[in-house]
């Protein structure tokens, strides 16, 4: 059995095997969240945790904890829609489309709020603006309570978002929501028929669905196999996703999420809801033509 290094000795921790680093890195990260700390050590620890996440080591619960810690420390994997590597180019039947590699995160959403997104009427459809004016608890209010803390970690997908809010954010970034059929193509692959981003069967430990028993969203990209060859992550699980299209005044969404079984993670699984619907398991991602 390997002796566990002191929580402050990052160099010793990095000398361990990847699986042996999980617990001491998590402890170090949690300690660095409390009070004033050395910025260099904090940045190094955050990078080390992000590397572990990318390597896919540990159980789902271990990785959930690592993802939350690095989310509050500052996740070096995250980008903004202004960055070229925020996007993954995917060849579809309608040509190459740029998909957001990750679901829109809480960190991005906070920037939208701070930038006046909820006050800029030009970003909103008339119906969406009317919905917002009549909404007593839009996202900034819902995110304030202690019960919301597990859902507002910076590197987790933003949830509790209506279709109107998602569409306003997309417009603010010169983007749109994916069409449902377009999203199916990304999962299945052009000329292929993958039922899930990694292929088949569904298997264990591949995606944050009910079978993983995490009971909450996880950091984006935490499940490294839930990713297409082009680099589009969390298409099977983590949180459900609004899509651009709908019918009869309602909008389609892809239901695969932490609180849904693996059947909901299938590429063609689809649900429908009013555009004002909100859920702790429903978020969205951006697309650009």
CATH (domain of 145): 3.90.1580.10
C-alpha–C-alpha distance, residues 143 and 163, integer Å: 17
pLDDT tens digits for range 184-242: 999 999 989 999 999 999 999 999 999 999 999 999 999 999 999 999 999 999 999 99
Shared domain check, 238 and 179: yes
Shared domain check, 106 and 25: no
C-alpha–C-alpha distance, residues 130 and 111, integer Å: 23
* pLDDT for 145: 85
Shared domain check, 53 and 25: yes
Q: What is the mean pLDDT of residues 90-102?
A: 95
Cis upstream peptide for 201 (omega within 30°): yes
pLDDT mean across residues, the chain = 94
Domain annotation covers residue 79: no
* pLDDT for 1: 37
Shared domain check, 193 and 107: yes
Q: Which of 21, 44, 73 is the last residue of a domain?
A: 73
pLDDT tens digits for range 256-276: 999 999 999 999 999 999 999
Domain annotation covers residue 241: yes
Cα separations (Å) of 157 from 108, 134, 136, 201, 276?
Answer: 9, 25, 23, 26, 18
- What is the model's pTM? 0.95
Higher pLDDT, residue 144 or 272: 272
Shared domain check, 278 and 160: yes
As beta bridge partners, residue 252 has 272
How many domains does the structure of the chain reveal? 2
Q: Does the pLDDT at position 3 exceed 50?
A: no
Shared domain check, 126 and 246: yes
pLDDT tens digits for range 20-38: 999 999 999 999 987 666 8
């Amino acid at each position: 059995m390997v002796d566990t290094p002191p929580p402050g000795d990052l160099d010793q921790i990095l000398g361990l095997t990847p699986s042996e680093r999980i617990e001491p890195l998590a402890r170090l990260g949690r300690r660095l969240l409390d009070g004033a700390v050395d910025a260099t050590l904090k940045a190094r620890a955050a990078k080390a945790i992000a590397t572990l996440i990318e390597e896919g080591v540990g159980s789902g619960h271990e990785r959930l904890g690592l993802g939350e810690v690095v989310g509050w420390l500052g996740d070096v994997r995250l980008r903004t829609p202004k960055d070229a590597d925020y996007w993954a180019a995917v060849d579809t039947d309608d040509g190459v489309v740029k998909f957001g590699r990750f679901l829109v995160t809480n960190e991005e959403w906070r920037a939208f709020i701070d930038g006046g997104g909820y006050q800029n009427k030009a970003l909103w459809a008339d119906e969406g603006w009317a919905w917002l004016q009549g909404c007593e608890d839009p996202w900034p209010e819902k995110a304030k309570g202690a019960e919301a803390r597990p859902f507002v970690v910076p590197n987790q997908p933003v949830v509790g978002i209506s279709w109107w809010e998602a569409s306003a954010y997309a417009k603010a970034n010169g983007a749109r929501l994916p069409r449902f059929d377009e999203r199916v193509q990304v999962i299945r692959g052009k000329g292929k028929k993958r039922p899930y981003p990694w292929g088949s069967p569904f298997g264990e430990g591949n995606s944050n669905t009910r079978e993983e028993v995490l009971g909450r969203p996880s950091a984006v990209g935490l499940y490294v196999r839930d990713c297409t060859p082009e680099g589009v992550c969390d298409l099977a699980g983590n949180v459900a996703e609004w899509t651009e299209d709908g019918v009869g005044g309602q909008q389609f969404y892809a239901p695969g999420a932490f609180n849904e079984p693996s059947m909901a993670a299938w590429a063609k699984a689809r649900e429908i809801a009013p555009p004002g619907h909100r859920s702790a398991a429903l978020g969205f991602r951006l697309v650009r033509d």
